[in-house]
Amino acid sequence: MSTQLISERAAERTRSARARAVGLLGPLTMLGGVAWAFLQPYRITLLHPHGEGFWWLVVEPPLLVVAVGIVFALFVAPGLIEDLQED
């Protein structure tokens, strides 16, 4: 096996590992938000909305974390993985 082929395969492995890592960032963030919601359910005021004010219903940290994960996974990660695989 030529050294060029070996180095090409090593570079390919590195690229795919990086693509996997980028692909995991969004889902892991979402998972973190969901885990947080289970650990501190009282921070999800939508579960008990009676008597809550506007801001307490809008700003719910675990849901914000899930939203960040979704935004990253949908809008940033796919193009980045595509560019990485074309590299």
Partner 1 sequence: MEPPAEHVHWLFATGFLLLALCLLARAIVGAEVWDRRAWRAYLWPSLLFGLGILMWPVMVFFTNSTIHMVAHGAWAQTMMLAGAAELGLVRGKLHSRAWHLALPLALAVSGIAILVHEQNGWLFARAAFLHHVLGWTALVGAIFTLLGVLQPRRRIWATGLALTLVLISVFLYSDRDVAPIFGHLSERAGVPHR
Does 26 bind partner 1 (CB under 8 A)? Our answer is: yes
Q: Of the two residues 2 and 71, which places its CB atom closer to partner 1 in the complex?
A: 71
Give, for 18, the enclosing helix (H) or strand (E). helix 3-39
Place of tokens 């180095």: 7
SS3 content of the chain, % helix, strand, coil (to 5): 85, 0, 15
Does 72 bind partner 1 (CB under 8 A)? Our answer is: yes
Task: Determine the Cα–Cα distance for residues 36 and 33; give it in Å rounded to an integer.
Answer: 5
The tokens describing 57, both together, are: 């219903």
Size, binding site for partner 1 by CB under 8 A: 25
Does 34 bind partner 1 (CB under 8 A)? Our answer is: no
Residues that bind partner 1 (CB under 8 A): 18, 21-22, 25-26, 29, 42, 54-56, 59, 61, 64-65, 67-68, 71-72, 76-77, 79-80, 83-84, 87
